[in-house]
Chains A and B, each alone.
Chain A
Amino acid sequence: MADVVVDSSPAVDDATKPRGGIWGLLTFWGLHAWVLAYCGVVLSAFYIQFAMGEFPCPLCMLQRYGMFLSSLGALFVIMAARRGELTTARYAQGLGMGLIGVLAGASVSVRQILLHIKPGDEGYGDPVLGIHLYTWAFITFAIVMIYVGVMLMLMPRGIPHAPPAGSTARKISTAIIWLFIGVIAANVIAIIFLEGFAPVLPDDPAGYHLIEQLTGR
């Protein structure tokens, strides 16, 4: 008769089991840092767009898209943790979504870096701290890839644990989530103004097409 093998690993897929500890909190806030960091990056891009008058090209916009796509993976995990429904499988799904999102964004960044790799090419837009925005975008995508790798290595110990409902920490979490939703909404409006009635962005935008189309100028 075959020996019975007893699985001694903890039942991490049981959402009803209490989780906690420093690791759970660290990974919960790590996901918020991910979302918040990309909100900061896109808000900085807004500053460059609106205050400095530099219009985002389609590749720039696709990199923002990749940032949002990956942040949705983080948000997926955050929301499951807040509802007390987070399992190892859902955590892995969220991290997987985040990883695919950053890979997609990094592909666009690499394409844009390669477009301007020739000696003498000044690149698209003004550099920030000596590096162009698409190169900065690639750096952030690489950081998130490393982050996801570390989080996967920490599993199941590092499964995020949400603070209790009504606490200040929970309110901060809610504020970050709504900031993220607001930044996506602002980007939607910016794209509508850039595109006007066209289905896609112009290759080299030099103004807000919607305003030009509405005013006839």
Chain B
Amino acid sequence: MILLLVIALLMWRGANRGVIITLWVVGVVAMIGLFRFHVTSVLDLSF
């Protein structure tokens, strides 16, 4: 979440577009990693 705050502030300050998009992609990868970390159980849909 700190990364997202940094990206928003960089956008406001007009930082290089490549830096912004790279950090944003890192943010997406971090989200996928956190999702994978927190989702550890298999869904039981046998009802």
Contacts and interface: CB of A to CB of B under 8 A. Distances in A.
Range, interface on chain A:
35 or more
A115 B44 CA distance: 8
B19 interface: no
Contacts of A191: 1
**Main SS of the interface on chain B?**
helix
A187 B9 contact: no
Contacts of A201: 38
- Contact residues of A: prevailing secondary structure: helix
Contact of B1 (A90, A97, A184): A184
A188 B11 contact: no
A100 B28 CA distance: 8
A188 B5 contact: yes
Contact of B4 (A69, A76, A118): A69
B1 A200 contact: no
Interface string B11-47: 1101001001100100110011011011100011101
A97 B5 contact: no
Contacts of B14: 79, 83
Contacts of B9: 181
Interface of A: 58-59, 62, 65-66, 68-69, 72, 75-76, 79, 83, 90, 93, 97, 100-101, 104, 107-108, 111, 114-115, 117-119, 177, 180-181, 184-185, 187-188, 191, 200-201, 203
When A and B form their complex, which 9 residue pairs have the shortest distance between CB atoms, in order from nearest?
Answer: A58-B38, A184-B5, A188-B1, A68-B4, A79-B11, A181-B8, A118-B47, A104-B31, A75-B11
Given A101-B28, A118-B45, 9 more contacts: A62-B38, A65-B31, A69-B24, A69-B31, A72-B24, A76-B24, A79-B11, A117-B45, A188-B2
